[in-house]
Amino acid sequence: MDTTTHEDLLDRARAWVAQDPDPDTRSELRALLESAEVGDADALDALHDRFATRLAFGTAGLRGELGAGTNRMNRVLVAQAAAGLAAYLAERAGVDAATEDAAEPAPLRDDAPLVVIGYDGRRNSDVFARDSAEIFAGAGLRAVLLPRLLPTPVLAFAVRHLKAAAGVMVTASHNPPNDNGYKVYLGGDDDGSQIVSPADKEIAAHIQRIADAGDIASLPRSLAFETAAEEVVTAYVEATAAVAPAPEGADGMTWVYTAMHGVGWETLSEVVERAGYPAPVVVPEQIQPDGSFPTVAFPNPEEPGALDLSFATADEAGADFVIANDPDADRLAVALPDPTGGWRRLTGNQIGLLLGWRAARLAAQRTGDETRGALACSLVSSPGLKAVADAHGLDFHATLTGFKWISRAPDIVFGFEEALGYLVNPETVRDKDGISAAVAVLGLAAEARREGRTLGDLLAEFDETFGVFASDQVAVRTDDVAAVGTMMAALRAQHPKTLGEVPVTQVDDLLDGVDGLPPGDVLRLWLDDGSRVIVRPSGTEPKLKVYLDVRADSADEAAARLAKLTDGARALLDGLA
């Protein structure tokens, strides 16, 4: 129960104004304070929303709406996060770091941990990145800021390329326009993957200690950070172009690309040129970075309507296919002409299975031993990837959701998750990468074209080879994050007996750490006909998500069974909401 009082809120807001270096959020908060101090109920509610809780630092780092307060993304919160991360890295490396009460920045030591910082085109990303660089440098760490706004995969690459102790990417990926975030990667034994427990808790404890000290103005800062050489970006471009050099016949392809108002185009265009593919027809309204995302209601290629401009451009160009990145270019969407007219966006599972099949074939060619290497996907992604791994003698790993887990799969040669994320070059990037995935798709399309076929034909061949794997997803969104937990508790208390008229034969509660997986807030249901249903809270939004998977001998059978299962899942959510 929240026991925050009226005076507590006012005191917290006044203390925030006193330390906030951002004139915009200071002004915003002062206006709320003036109204709240005279008893304005709406202003008090707004202060409560901003100060009664704090954005939690976890394995996804920080992510939230921009604005003043502990429950928003802002310069105060970012400064606290940077100082806390600096203290964690210094402690991990066994070196001294300047603390919040230091009179002067710490001198740079030869053994100081290196931190590389990247940022995208969202509002305040560049400001948060520079604040972080100054605080890392002030703490005595070697801080390297990427030379300009760049995709998240370039930052993930740079952590390994520069042998950094850590990396920070300022991005909210495909979240709404007024969000931003702070994603942390670790080098060393973590090999450039995103943080997992217990590192998240240890970093969070340092951040809380900084926050409790009460004034970020006392944090030592230094301008002695470095700007990364262009060589880092060039090295990423070269490594990514090598994922799938263009085969003969690629010149004739016509394809459309959108950056979704994000930062993907500059880097992707260089990769495409170096790999030898024809330049795409771009969606001009969406090709340059614009943090206001003016042409889309929600800058996520999965959302209805997000690709409408791409489809119109593709119709005009007579394109063979459409490729889209999300705003920080770590995700990839692909769309093909629909035989019945218009365009259809492939699901993340369809793309992941094609790329996994490609990776399995390449693994056999590269090693001469089909037992080497592993495919991995999140447990909510299509079980078709296991069928591919089994057919090629590769190991298979199902992980908890997120590339922080997928990237750690032993001997991984490819990994994916159904939310349009693909890891195709684990030797260079241990995270999802929408640019290297785009090059891999271009390679598949060009090879198919050389044989007189299309990407659609490859999908049909997959079904003929492995069976039809059909997937769907339904979700319920709430205005209250706590409501999601309440719904999960209700499901745990009473499991459904049937879904879509099919009996539920087994329920796995992953809070108990099933199948060697770390504990997770996930329920997995197995049905009498072999179908699988997984229920979990969203990691970034107040939503409860249900993932549905069936396997059948024909597309018609799969569609019919999936439709019934989807109806059953909707009925289940309606009963919980």
Q: Do residues 37 and 6 both lie within one domain?
A: yes
> Which pLDDT does position 370 carry in this prediction?
47
Query: Does the pLDDT of residue 169 top 80, yes or no?
Result: yes
Q: Are residues 114 and 180 in the same domain?
A: yes
Q: Can you tell me the mean pLDDT for 50-61?
A: 90
Which are the contacts of 232, defined by CB distance < 8 A and separation ≥ 6?
Answer: 146, 147, 154, 157, 158, 161, 162
Do 92 and 179 reside in the same domain of the chain? Answer: yes
Asked whether residue 407 falls in the same domain as residue 535, the answer is no
Residue 153 lies in a domain: yes
Does the residue 267 lie in any domain? no
Position 288 in a domain: no
> The domain spanning residue 513 has which CATH number?
3.30.310.50
Paired residues of 395 in beta bridges: 374
Mean pLDDT for 386-414 is 95
Domain count, the chain: 4
Any domain includes 463? no
Please give the structure tokens belonging to residue 406. Answer: 């997928």
How much is the pLDDT for 98? 60
182: which strand partners? 62, 170
198 and 90 both lie in a single domain: yes
Residues designated catalytic: 173
Angstrom distance (rounded) from CA 299 to CA 327: 7
Any domain includes 282: no
- Does a structural domain hold residue 294? no
- Asked whether residue 130 is assigned to any structural domain, the reply reads yes
Query: What pLDDT digit, counting tens, does each position of 290-329 carry?
Result: 999 999 989 999 999 999 999 999 999 999 999 999 999 9
Q: Identify whether residues 36 and 125 lie together within a single domain.
A: no
479 and 518 within one domain: yes
Q: What is the mean pLDDT of residues 504-515?
A: 88
Instruction: Tell me which residue range forms the domain holding 420.
Output: 348-432
- Looking at the fold, whether 40 and 69 belong to one and the same domain comes out as no
**The domain boundary residue, chosen from 223, 250, 265:** 223
Cα torsion 511, 512, 518, 523: sign: negative
Of 388, 404, 432, which residue sits at a domain end? Answer: 432
Regarding whether 413 and 361 lie in a shared domain, the answer is yes
**126 and 146 inside one domain:** yes
What are 335's strand-pairing partners? 322, 345
Neighbour-count burial of 334, counting CB atoms closer than 10 A to its CB (0-12 exposed, 13-18 middle, 19+ buried) = buried
Structure tokens at 192: 């450039």
**364 and 513 fall within a common domain:** no
Instruction: Assign 575 to helix, strand or coil.
Output: helix
User: What does pLDDT average to over the chain?
Assistant: 93
User: 86 CB contacts (<8 Å, ≥6 apart)?
Assistant: 97, 115, 135, 136, 139, 141
| Residue 29 belongs to a domain | yes
Paired sense of beta strands 498-499 and 421-423, if any: unpaired
Q: How many Cβ atoms are within 10 Å of 303's Cβ, its own excluded?
A: 12
Indicate which CATH number applies to the domain containing 195: 3.40.120.10
Residue pair 170/129 in contact (Cβ under 8 Å)? The answer is yes
Which of 223, 240, 265 is where one domain is finished? 223
Note the pLDDT tens digit of each residue in 327-360. 999 999 999 999 999 999 999 999 999 999 999 9
pLDDT band at 102 (very low <50, low <70, confident <90, very high): low
Higher model confidence: residue 96 or residue 102? Answer: 96
CA distance 240 to 404: 20
Say yes or no: 381 and 353 in one domain. Answer: yes
